[in-house]
Structures are given as structure tokens and as C-alpha cells.
Amino acid sequence: MGELIIKGPEKKEINRINTPQMRSFFVKFSGVSGVFVRGMSRARFEWCLVAFGVGIAAYFGWPVEPNLLLPMVVTLVFYGLLFVVRTRPATHELVLLALFLSTGFTRAVHHTSSAEAPILPEFRRAYTFTGWIEDIQSSGKLQHFYVRVQSAERLKPELTPKRVRVRIKPYGFKPGDSVRFKTLMAAPPDPAIVGGYDSARASYYRGIGGYGFAISKPQTVKLEKLPLGQRAKRKLVKFRYALSRRIQARAPPRTAGLQAALLTGDRSNIPPEQSTALRHAGLAHLLAISGLHMGLLAGGAYFLASLFFASIGPLARRYDMRKWAAIVGIIIASTYLLISGASVSTQRAFIMAVIVFIAVILDRRAVSMRSVALAAAITLVLHPESLLSAGFQMSFSATAALVAVYRTWADRREFTNFSKQGKGNVFSRIWNGFIGISVTSFVAGAATGGFAALHFHRFARLGFIANVLAMPIFTMVVMPAGFLAVVLIPLGLDKAPLWVMGMGLDYVINIATWVSSMKWALVYIKSANAVVISLFSLGFICLCLGPKFVRIVGAVIMLLSCFMWAGIERPDMRISAEARIAFWDPDEVDVLRVDRKRGDGFGRDRFVEQAGLKTAEKRSYVDGENLCDMLGCRINLKGQIISIVLEPEGVAEACTDSDLVILTLREAGPRARRACKATLVDQTILTKTGAQDVYINDGELEVRTANPKKRRARPWG
């Protein structure tokens, strides 16, 4: 038999083991752990960030709200273990990952407790609020006011929410205006569908404690003296929207709303048909100020500053002008952050841009996977809840994929073209530029497309074509002209660059309209659950970060998540929180049977999207083959008897031979509730659990709720 030779730190560890059994175990373990250690050593910081994110995800999936003390103690224990196992590489790396996982969990708990703010009761009642408007967003013919509350009548200060959202008619108010208004308001709503977007959770972290609609015209009032931070923010809000109005007044009318959105973040005046065309063509990323916009503006400023400083001979010969230009880039990025509203997506882009410029100043590689990971780490430390958002996942997936692809491409191109240096001409450079834009569009579209399908249930199949045709003009004409327009506004010379910017955007809109009008431009996909999204994300991370073997594992995980996604079944019936009924016709796939065709519009639209359909024909189940009378209906759905009862008096009889009883108008009495052997749903249950989805499989009936017990145990539940 040959002699087993082990070198390195594993040998030292084996020499400490005396028993043959333990020695044999460690020999086997060291072979596997060696691969793990080598994989960790290549991207240790990146994998630690992944563990940090897993800790945050574990917090949001926790069944109860944890106490801060326990995760802090666990984190300290893992920190102490690092010193105990410092001589054992594999164990040390595992403990390090566990430490970052615990740290992510702890940070999420701490952030949630620090974000706590008053929330109005769940039942709707009248309130009179006084405050100032932080933001205005269009909602059809109405508007949404996001108001920073200063005071509320008949409401104690400790119970007054920091912010509220009010649905209101457009009375001509502007952001920054001080108002007093009367409203019917309640706590932010639960998810409209099971597993859908949780507006209450998002509102919790933004300090929004109430949603409602105005029942009187707002009045302009004079506020009491605001704290210094609010005064500064209010002035900045007024400046932003004054700039937006200036841009819209001097820009071409057709593109004025888009130009204001790109330069100031004010999207309230974008025509709905334009935003729809951009979304269906795969160009919706142009509407959200993100890394693309920040990179074009700050990067363009860096390029121009480099040219300017390099033209100053004495300085250029003595100093590295790139570092001075990087400082200019940071200033421009900071300015753009402020005037664009500093949304979370813009903050992510700003962090990434600043890291790139700091790398230039410190003579480090400007764009690398490490810089992407550092930007993601800072974002998650500041906003742990952003991990669950589609914006965070799409933004960093595109950036990470581009860095991974271009890193490999650059290495191979440098090796292949080593003997061809200096032989390029103008045409080859143009061709290489076109190839670069095409590769960028394809990689970014593929990276974000999966996450877009997971979250929004649709995929722009022709997005690559739209991006290849539109992005060169957007990159080289639209944003540079917009940057020049903002610079020239103080001189009153902004009309010409705004016109150029408008012509470029007009071309982009025409491309989006043409692509979105094609028959197969958009494909609708059924919704995925949290397990599928988590597996897909983990596989994508392995695909970007790992060596060859880990990338193969990542591809397998992503493929497995897609198989699981395909196996998810759509709900058979929806019961809204207001007891509105809708279920799929067993004989026709795209026909939705409803109690009334009007009402519960938002929830039903999301229910249709969840099933992977663009639209569905709505037909009344009362007019079908179901047994209905003045007291209710009796429905046979996949062999299950479902009774829809209008009055409590009919509950007892329905419970005798039904599998599911739905009381739509009132609450069932305690005696009927105790005697009912079927699953009973009434207003008491719906008020507590929110909307419900009903699944029928193999003769078994399962009910899932939009507000389950574990969600009600959280601060936003």
C-alpha cells in the first residue's frame, strides 16, 4: 500500500491526533475541507457577505420577532470561537461564515427595533393631520401625497405616525408645501395576495404609519418651527421640484416628464403609455435612477475632468490627474444623489460610484467583484430590508454578472490580441464598441431578467433587441446632454441641451413602442415562492463568485430552482379580505368566475398575474351551472363542495355537507362556529388573516393566508 502524504496545516493538525480512528476521520475530512478553504481564500470577503445576507434573510423568515440580546450573545460566542480554532483552517472558515451569518441576523433585528414608529390602528377612522409634503406620485387621475406629519388632532404625540400616505385629488399642491387635511386612514394594508408584495413591511421601514384618502380639500397652513434636519430636507425637496418644473417647462413637451425623471427623480409626469412601452420592451431600468445613470453622469464628469486636468502641463507632469478627477466624480455623484431624491436604488448606485472613485485614488482596481461586494455590504448594513427588494437583487445581479463576464473576457482578449496591439483602426474600434454594448445588454438583461420574472411574473423576450438599439443613444446622447443642461441652468442656456436630450429620448420611446407592439414582446410567468427565489439567488451567486466547480454547482442549483418553479401550482380560488370570491373555471384555463365583475380589482389583477396570465375573462358564477338562490351558492370545484352563504342563519345547514363554507356579509355565531365540521371562513377570520388562497389537490383542500400567524408576530404584521 502506498503512503498517504499530507502537507501544510492539515499535517500539523493530524500530528496532534493520537487515536487511529480520529486520524482516519481527519484524513478524509481534510481532503474535502481543503477544497472549501481554497474556494474561500479566493473570495473570502464575498462569501462572508453572502453569509451576512443569509443571516438577514433568516431574520425575515423567522416565525417570531427575536429579542436582540440572544443574537448578540450568539455573535459574541462565534467571535470568541475564531480565536479557539485559528490554527484549523477549515474550521476557522466555517466559524467565520457562521459569525457573519449571526452578524447579519443581529443587524436586521437591531435595524427593525430602531425603525419602530407609531402605526395607526387597523380599522379606518377620521383624522386631521398637519405637516408638509415630502413627495407626490401620480395614481391614475388622483395623486398620492407622502406627508411628513407634524401634529394630529385628538391623537397623542407618541401615537402620531411620522409619515402618512394620502390618496387625493390634484389640487395643485407641490412637494415642500405645508398642509392640513382631513382623511379616513388606517394602518398600511396587508399583502393583497398570498405571497405578494408586503406594503406594510416596506412602509414600516420608511416610517409610514397610515394609508388613507382625503375627505376634504387640503388647506395651506403655517407650520411650527421644524427640527434642523427636517428644515434642510424640506428646502432640498423644494429645490428638487423647482428644478423639475424648470426642466419640464423648457424641454420638448413629449419627453418633458421623462427628462425630469432622469435628472431629478420626479416621475409624477411621465405619460402612462410611455412607462408601459418601456416596461414591456425591457427598458424599464431607464426609469429608476440606478447604477446606469449614476455611472454615466459621474463617469462622464470624471472623464471630462481628466481631460481638463491633463491639459494643464505642469500639474499633469507632477501629479496623477486621475485622482483629482476622481474627487470631481465624487462631488458630481453626491450632487446627483441629493437632487434625485436619494432613494434606496440611488443610494446603492452612489455607494458603488464612490467606491470606484476611492479605488482610483488609492491606486486599486476600480471595478472588481470586491468593489461590488463592498457596495452591497454597505447597502445591507444601512438597509437590511433591501435584501428582499427586487431593486437590490436586480441591480447587484446585473453588476456582478457584468464584472464576472468582463473579467473573463478581458483576460482572454488580452491573451488573444497580444500580438495585434496597435493594429486597430476606426472601424474596428466602432465594431468593438458595438460588440461591447451588445454583450453588456445581453449579460445585464439575462442577469436581471430572471429576477424580474421571479418578482413581477413577466419577462421581456425582446429586451435584448430594444437595449441594443436604444442604449447607444441613451448612453452617448441622452445623459450627456442632460448633464450639460443641468450645468448650464444657472446661465439660462439649458434649452438647447434639453432639446438634444429630448430628441434622444424621442428615439428611445419610438424603439420601446415598436418593440412592445410586437406580438411576443412580453411573456407572463406564474409566481414563485420564497424557496425558489432563495435557491435561484444562491445559484446565481455561486455562478458569479466561485471557481469552475462551484460555478457548475451554481448552475445546477439554478436549474433545480427552475424545475421547482415550474412545479408550483396556481391557487384554485381567491377570497379577498372583504370576502369577494373568485375562482378559476375548471373547464377553461383563462376564465375567472367571480361574484361580481366590479370590485377587488387590484387583488384580482395580481391573482391573474400570479397564475402567469396577462388577463382573464371574468364571468359570474351565479349565471353558470352552480346552484344559487337568494341565500347563497353551492359550488362543486374539483370534487370539493364549497358553500357561499350570505347570512349567518345558513351556516349550520351548509356545514353539514360542505368542505368549505364562506360567510360573506357577517360573522358566524359561536355556536355555529363550534358545530361546523367544515372549514369556515367569515369576516372575523378574514379581518385577522387577510386574503386567502384555496388549493384543491387529490381531494384535499388547503387554505393559505396573506397574513399568517408568523407575519402577525412581526412589528409590521
pLDDT tens across 194-237, in order?
Answer: 988 899 999 999 999 999 999 989 999 999 889 998 999 999 99
Decide if 186 contacts 684 (C-beta within 8 A).
Answer: no
Helix axes 20-42, 548-566, angle to 10 degrees: 80
CA dihedral 537, 539, 543, 549 (to 10 degrees): 160
Query: What confidence category does residue 12 fall into, taking pLDDT thresholds of 50, 70 and 90?
Result: very low
E strand segments, 52-177: 125-139, 142-152, 163-168
Number of CB atoms found within 10 A of residue 357's CB: 25
Number of CB atoms found within 10 A of residue 149's CB: 21
pLDDT tens across 661-699, in order?
Answer: 999 887 888 888 888 888 899 888 998 899 999 999 888
Question: What pLDDT does residue 178 have?
Answer: 94
Report which of residues 506 and 293 the model is more confident about.
506
φ/ψ of 459, rounded to 5, equals -140, 130
Alpha carbon 268 to chain centroid distance? 20
Helix axes 479-488, 291-310, angle to 10 degrees: 70
Query: Is the pLDDT at 419 greater than 60, yes or no?
Result: no
Mean pLDDT over 590-595 rounds to: 89
Query: Is the pLDDT at 20 greater than 60, yes or no?
Result: no
Cα(129)–Cα(640) distance, integer angstroms: 49
Closest CA to 604 of 582, 635, 585: 582
Cα(653)–Cα(643) distance, integer angstroms: 10
Cα(169)–Cα(141) distance, integer angstroms: 7
Cα(296)–Cα(648) distance, integer angstroms: 63
State the cell numbers at 645.
Answer: 352563504
Per DSSP, what are the bridge partners of residue 219?
A: 180
Decide if 654 contacts 661 (C-beta within 8 A).
Answer: yes
Query: 139, exposed or middle or buried, with CB in 10 Å at 0-12, 13-18, 19+?
Result: exposed
Query: Is the pLDDT at 255 greater than 80, yes or no?
Result: yes
Query: Is the pLDDT at 511 greater than 70, yes or no?
Result: yes
Residues 33-61 as b or e (16 or more Cβ within 10 Å = b): bbeebebbeebeebbbbbbbbbbbbbbbe
pLDDT tens across 457-484, in order?
Answer: 888 888 888 888 888 888 889 988 998 9
H or E element, residue 559? helix 548-566
> Pairing relation of β-strands 142-152 and 163-168?
antiparallel
Query: 204, exposed or middle or buried, with CB in 10 Å at 0-12, 13-18, 19+?
Result: buried
Query: Is the pLDDT at 11 greater than 90, yes or no?
Result: no
- For CA atoms 281, 287, 291, 297, the dihedral sign is positive
Query: What confidence category does residue 413 fall into, taking pLDDT thresholds of 50, 70 and 90?
Result: low
Question: What pLDDT does residue 412 have?
Answer: 60
State the cell numbers at 26.
Answer: 481527519
Closest CA to 543 of 373, 397, 394, 378: 397
Closest CA to 60 of 627, 577, 616, 714: 714
Cα(217)–Cα(436) distance, integer angstroms: 54
Mean pLDDT over 523-544 rounds to: 90
Question: What pLDDT does residue 677 have?
Answer: 85
Please give the mean pLDDT across all residues of the chain.
85
Decide if 72 contacts 396 (C-beta within 8 A).
Answer: no
Number of CB atoms found within 10 A of residue 218's CB: 22
> Pairing relation of β-strands 660-663 and 679-681?
parallel
Which overall architecture, per CATH, does domain 125-224 show? Beta Barrel (2.40)
Question: What pLDDT does residue 515 have?
Answer: 93
Query: What confidence category does residue 425 fall into, taking pLDDT thresholds of 50, 70 and 90?
Result: low
Query: Is the pLDDT at 138 greater than 50, yes or no?
Result: yes
Closest CA to 165 of 190, 184, 191: 184
Mean pLDDT over 533-546 rounds to: 90
CATH 2.40.50.140 segments of the chain:
125-224
Residues 6+ apart with CB under 8 A from 167: 139, 142, 143, 144, 212, 213, 214
- For CA atoms 683, 685, 688, 690, the dihedral sign is negative
Out of 110-119, 517-526, 640-649, give the one with best mean pLDDT.
Answer: 110-119
Question: What pLDDT does residue 303 have?
Answer: 87
Instruction: Read off the pTM.
Output: 0.85
Q: Report the chain's terminal Cα–Cα distance, integer Å.
A: 65
Q: In the chain, what percentage of residues exceed pLDDT 90?
A: 39
